[in-house]
Structure 1
Amino acid sequence: MIKEKSFYKTFFILTFSLALQNLLTYGVNLADNLMLGAYSENALNGASLCNQVQFLLQMLVVGAGEGAVVLGSQYWGKDQLEPIPHIIGCALRFGVGMAAALFAAVLFFPAQILGLLTNDAAVIAEGVKYFRIICFTYIIFTATNILVASLRSIGIVKIGYIISASTLIINICLNSLLIYGKLGFPELGIQGAALATLVSRCVELLIVILYLKFREQRLKLTLRKLVHIDTSFLKDYQKVSLPVLLNQAQWGIAQMVQTGILGHLGAAAIAANSIATIIYQVLSVVAYGAASASSIWVGRTIGEGRESFLRPLVKTLQILFIAIGVLSGLAIYFARNPILTFYNISPEAHRLALQFIVVMAVTTVGTSYQMACDNGIIRGGGDTSFSMKMNLFSMWLIIVPLSWLAAFVWKFPPVVVFFLLKWDQLYKAVPVAIRLHSWKWVKRVTRPDPT
């Protein structure tokens, strides 16, 4: 293992910076979840189902952004910053195009999309109210997050949590005013939560624009640079990013299918899934921060040509991932009862939420190891297709068919169905470990140096 204290100091500063950004980002969702959960179970369920489309968008944005991170971090390691604005421009084209397609689908077919996820008319009615406002955040959200991810590829992470902190504060304040109708504001319920999020997303983008204009000095990004790009980099970007995009897209769609399976088991299962998922997201942020940090470390190491440093680096990272997973699982387990006291939900939803959270506490140990090794080390090393192939096989040939049979043919209890939807986070550790120790994932994705 690596023994230099400077490595651990740098790694954990980067990890906790990214974890803080994730925590603040998920804190926005938690604020909506808690406030709508205290307002009405139907409002909570409607927003939860709508957020499955937001999750799909988020997966697509991660895919578009990760292509820029993988390429950008290797160019950064080579001390070549000139190609990075062109790569960011490519990522924005892909991301904004996908966001526009989702915006149109949600704007024109909100009830039809929700009908795929549940057959509860009251939940669909609440969801349509939320959809008609929240869809206007999609393009704004995409542009902001791709720009922030691109800056992360050259080690700039502070702006991410500054943005997320401002969004959280604005969102909580506006939620309080608009959901419940305080201080003379109208009581808008679920529509108030959507409006609060829309305002927050606009502020996010404004902060990024101001930061790029007045503070960022390495890339000196301008609108002109992002629009007028060297289109020859599109091929480089597509080669790295398309496998990630396809993987993230199928993952987002699969999560919607999983939510649809639970959604047809009743309103209590929808509420329990929503609560368990958001608690998991908030309390597992360090694992995802470690994955992102390791991707940057590995990409930069390969870009610098220090392949001999990879073996101790990978061994060290694996041990850190497992330790983080165990601590995250314990945090999720012990937080379940205190957090559920904030929700105004039925006894059945409360019982299922407790069970679902225990499942999450166990599976997060596997997630912390295999997800960080896969999306962090392997993807950061330039192999962006392994994850796509593994998840396509796992999700569509094992998880979805088995869970559907458990729910609708074998009539298993909801907690068993929920476990079958999540147990891939445990067994995928095996193929990930095999791929990791094959060392076939070490690939240079940058262009050769000019001679």
Structure 2
Amino acid sequence: MPNRQPILQKSFNRELFSLVLPIALQNLVSALVISADVLMLGFVSQSAMSAVSLAGQITFMLTLFYMGLSMGAGILVAQYWGKKDTATIQRLLGLAGTFSLCISFLFFVVCVAFPEVLMRFFTNDPELIRYGALFLQPLSFSYLAMGISQIYLGVMRSIEKARFSAWISSACLLLNIALNALCIFVWFPGQPGHAVVAVAVATVCARWIELAGCVFHSLLQGPIQLKLPPRDGMQRKLLRDFLRYTLPVQGNYIVWGGALTVTAAVIGHVSAELVAANSVASVVKNLAVVLCGGVASGGAVLISKYLGRGELEKAKQIGRRLIAYSLFFGVIAGAAVLAMKIPVFALVRLSSTAEMYLDGMLNICAVYCIAKSLNAVTIAGLFPAGGDSMFGFWCDTIVMWGIVLPLSYLCAFVWSVPPLALYAVISMDEFVKLPAAIWRYRQYKWLNNLTRDFDSASSHPS
């Protein structure tokens, strides 16, 4: 059968990109939600933009919990989707949604009660603390909506319903941008304090409308519905599986994202100009790697589906193709960062020092994107899809907390290295992790079927 391999490749490409493009679009939307607030407030003042960027680190930390829960549930959801077991998927949505809502409520309470305390962790600049607290307090009301909507959208992606996720998120982003424009240019021009609060309220409105869209989709045409999980023996078994595969993934995201938050705090205590430059560089970098993230997430769904069917050899072949795609899209992302330099400098108002920092940061980001793409597909895609989620946790713990953060602290506060050298040290984590990720990939320990047969009396974990 000489033509079978090309046919399989074409079929895989169609399946992959039918997932990748909507997921990449939703990743783009997710990156733009807080980025739109940051960039648009750049038209008000550099301080307002920098403060909102730092306050956004709190939302970023909460998003890490959503990502961990979505990935942990998605590992099992996609494998059960391969078996067409929608009843178990319904239970998994209830489990993940319950955990997500509890975490969201905790973040909401802390942000409402202690916004200034949180901002002081990131900076000692009084103006940035004041603007950041003004933004964070109203923004926290969006967390209650996100606790449900983000998990629902994540499960929709895992059952190959990524188009709905992309559509509802895109519509709410456009609404958010439109409201931001009214707040900044019509209602409160030249009033940074009022504009910051209004932009936060605009984001809250968009998030609650997103949740309403998820609820209507669930009730009217969703294959899975939003409701509380039942309490029975099957649910207890599923809870053990959920925790077994979710906790390492969640730990990985917290370890990695927590380290990024600490590096943002390090930058925040170096200089306001460096904070402003990093605010813009982070937006550009996040926008550039959306396709890389789409390949990682879409590939993980397909790998999980085939593993759930027991097609391990096919999953292995797909893994090889995903590695090749990740390298290609990593190079594209790096080129995109460099291509965005001209429009970024034309749009954003920065001091001459901040512009100099930003130019150097974007050059570093362009190289960073290549390693980031490869690690995203392996550590955040293939490995968790097959249940090998502990590797990412230990890899990020050692690299981020054992190498990058200590070096960043020494460079910033002991050796007083130039700001761009500090940024290069902060960005070295993906290159340090890459050899270990490739080595782990070649061991193929990530090829595992994780599903249970709940219809059998002798059901047991794979």
Post-superposition Cα deviations, 1:215-240, rounded to whole Å, max 9, x if no partner, equal: 21x33x142x5466734421111011
The answer for the alignment partner of 1:208 in structure 2 is 214
TM-score, normalising length: structure 2 = 0.93
1:409-428 matches, cutoff 5 A:
409-428=414-433
1:60-75 matches, cutoff 5 A:
60-75=65-80
Post-superposition Cα deviations, 1:240-296, rounded to whole Å, max 9, x if no partner, equal: 101111111222221110001100111111111110001111121000000001110
Where in structure 1 do 4 or more consecutive aligned residues deviate above 6 Å?
Answer: 183-187
1:215-234 matches, cutoff 5 A:
215-216=221-222, 218-219=223-224, 221-223=225-227, 225-226=228-229, 230-234=235-239
SS in structure 2 at match of 1:107? helix
Distance in 2 between residues matched to 1:283 and 1:204, nearest whole Å: 24
Residue 196 (structure 1) aligned to one of 202, 212, 218: 202
Structure 1 segments unaligned to the other structure (5+ residues): none
In the TM superposition, residue 183 of structure 1 has moved relative to its aligned partner by 9.8
The answer for the alignment partner of 2:25 in structure 1 is 20
Q: Do 2:306 and 2:312's aligned partners in 1 also have CA atoms closer than 8 Å?
A: yes
The answer for the alignment partner of 1:114 in structure 2 is 119
Q: Give the paired residue count.
A: 448
Distance in 2 between residues matched to 1:126 and 1:189, nearest whole Å: 10
In the TM superposition, residue 205 of structure 1 has moved relative to its aligned partner by 0.2
Letter in 1 for 2:207: R
The answer for the alignment partner of 2:347 in structure 1 is 342
Q: Do 1:59 and 1:251's aligned partners in 2 also have CA atoms closer than 8 Å?
A: no
The answer for the alignment partner of 2:61 in structure 1 is 56
Letter in 1 for 2:328: A
Distance in 2 between residues matched to 1:235 and 1:380, nearest whole Å: 17
Structure 2 segments unaligned to the other structure (5+ residues): 458-462
In the TM superposition, residue 110 of structure 1 has moved relative to its aligned partner by 1.1
Residue 294 (structure 2) aligned to one of 289, 292, 295: 289
Post-superposition Cα deviations, 1:99-145, rounded to whole Å, max 9, x if no partner, equal: 11111221111111111111101110101100110111112112111
Post-superposition Cα deviations, 1:127-170, rounded to whole Å, max 9, x if no partner, equal: 11001101111121121110010111111111111111111111
In the TM superposition, residue 180 of structure 1 has moved relative to its aligned partner by 3.2
SS in structure 2 at match of 1:447? coil
Residue 392 (structure 1) aligned to one of 363, 382, 397: 397
The answer for the alignment partner of 2:262 in structure 1 is 257
Residues 102 and 183 of structure 1: is their aligned pair in 2 closer, same or farther, counting only changes over 3 Å? closer
The answer for the alignment partner of 1:274 in structure 2 is 279
Q: Do 2:399 and 2:432's aligned partners in 1 also have CA atoms closer than 8 Å?
A: no
Residues 222 and 263 of structure 1: is their aligned pair in 2 closer, same or farther, counting only changes over 3 Å? closer
The answer for the alignment partner of 2:95 in structure 1 is 90
| CA RMSD of superposed structures (Å) | 1.9
Distance in 1 between residues matched to 2:158 and 2:229, nearest whole Å: 16
Residue 141 (structure 1) aligned to one of 139, 146, 149: 146
Residues 184 and 310 of structure 1: is their aligned pair in 2 closer, same or farther, counting only changes over 3 Å? closer
Post-superposition Cα deviations, 1:405-450, rounded to whole Å, max 9, x if no partner, equal: 0111111111111111111112211111111111112222221462
Distance in 2 between residues matched to 1:167 and 1:79, nearest whole Å: 31
Q: Percent identity?
A: 28
The answer for the alignment partner of 1:355 in structure 2 is 360
1:117-128 matches, cutoff 5 A:
117-128=122-133
Letter in 1 for 2:379: D
Post-superposition Cα deviations, 1:77-100, rounded to whole Å, max 9, x if no partner, equal: 122221111111111121111111
Please identify, of 23-32 and 435-444, the stretch whose mean Cα deviation from structure 2 is larger.
23-32
